[in-house]
Amino acid sequence: MSHVAVSFETPEYVANADGTGTLRILEAVRLLGLTDKTRVYQASTSELYGKVQEIPQTEKTPFYPRSPYAVAKMYAYWITVNYREAYNMFACNGILFNHESPVRGETFVTRKITRAAAKIALGLQDKLYLGNLDAKRDWGHAKDYVRMMWMILQADEPEDWVIATGKTTSVRDFVKMAFGYLGVELRFEGEGIDEVGIIDSVDTKRLNELNLNPKSSNLNPGNIVVAVDPRYFRPTEVDLLIGDPTKAKEKLGWEPQYTLNELVDEMMASDLKLMKKDEYLKDGGYTIMNYFE
Ligand SMILES: Nc1nc2c(ncn2[C@@H]2O[C@H](COP(=O)(O)OP(=O)(O)O[C@H]3O[C@H](CO)[C@@H](O)[C@H](O)[C@@H]3O)[C@@H](O)[C@H]2O)c(=O)[nH]1
């Protein structure tokens, strides 16, 4: 269970799956006598930092979890450390900051944005509704992070590691980057729940390059394509995350290979391709499913 907002609706389930679930795996290794030949990677998270106590966040920054998900993950973190110390188990926490890709679940904010931007470009959707546009995240490419998971398990000693890019970007700026891929410049106006994203300009040459038809798309200057829906606000929010991956770089030689721009471009290209299938079906007279968070 990895969705922070959903964890407020299912707090007991997340404690069981993400907290006690980790204990069950560690116990299985111990009780089966597999400690000497097993290496355990615990998918820890930057959500542990929550209401951040230090900027940027390192392996030494104190935790302040802000959701049932993060509290359950806090148990998972410490039980992993405890089994390492108590039973000499090769058990590690990878404290991964947000990592994204074209196969990210559609209810996480990056994918929700790239899918919607692609649908708006194809005339299949009018508007994208989001929650907190000010939230800032340290977004990296999942491929870089999964490579690091593997490196953590090959290390000489079991340790805990921060995996991050060291850069932070707001949700609002991520939206601008996604529309930027389409040759569209957005401007934001208004405040709080009245804030909207309006199309400032459209580069028709870029639309042609992408084989998008300006007439059937919803990309027209003046169109409101982003609005705020308070249903997506969280009872307690994590406002700012930015990690310091110095330890991983220096001790394991990890270097991320993707920039955020490359990640956004890859996600946009993939979602345009995916949504073109919907366009094809719609043109053929079929009903297009609407996907909502
Ligand atoms: N999901 C979502 N988030 C929104 C929206 N509008 C604004 N946001 C804001 O966008 C930020 C990122 O939300 P998510 O993409 O849902 O990710 P997350 O809460 O940061 O958690 C992800 O990253 C953690 C760290 O790696 C993971 O531990 C966690 O499982 C998840 O993958 C949050 O501050 C959230 O409030 C929206 O419509 N939907």
Q: pLDDT, tens digit, for every residue of 190-199?
A: 999 999 999 9
Active-site option among 47, 100, 266, 279: 47
Burial class (CB in 10 A: 0-12, 13-18, 19+), 43: middle
Token code pair at residue 287 = 């009903």
Distances (CA, A) of 182 to 94, 179, 196: 35, 5, 19
User: Chain-wide mean pLDDT for the chain?
Assistant: 97
- 69 in active site: yes
Distance 107 CA to ligand 1 centre (A): 9
Distance 237 CA to ligand 1 centre (A): 10
Q: Is 163 in the pocket of ligand 1 (CB under 6 A)?
A: no
Q: Give the least confident one: 39-48, 130-139, 163-172, 212-221.
A: 212-221
Locate the ligand 1 atom nearest the alpha carbon of residue 229 and give its number.
38
Band of residue 288 on the pLDDT scale cut at 50, 70, 90: confident
Task: Please list, residue by residue across 131-157, b when 16 or more beta carbons sit within 10 angstroms of its beta carbon and e when fewer do.
Answer: bbbebbbbbbbbebbebbeebbeeeee
Q: Give the least confident one: 12-16, 145-149, 213-217.
A: 213-217
Distance 109 CA to ligand 1 centre (A): 6
Active-site option among 22, 61, 69, 168: 69
For the cut 70, the answer to whether the pLDDT of residue 163 exceeds it is yes
Overall pTM surpassing 0.95 (yes/no): yes
Q: Which domains are delineated in the chain? A: 103-138+169-237+259-293 (3.90.25.10)
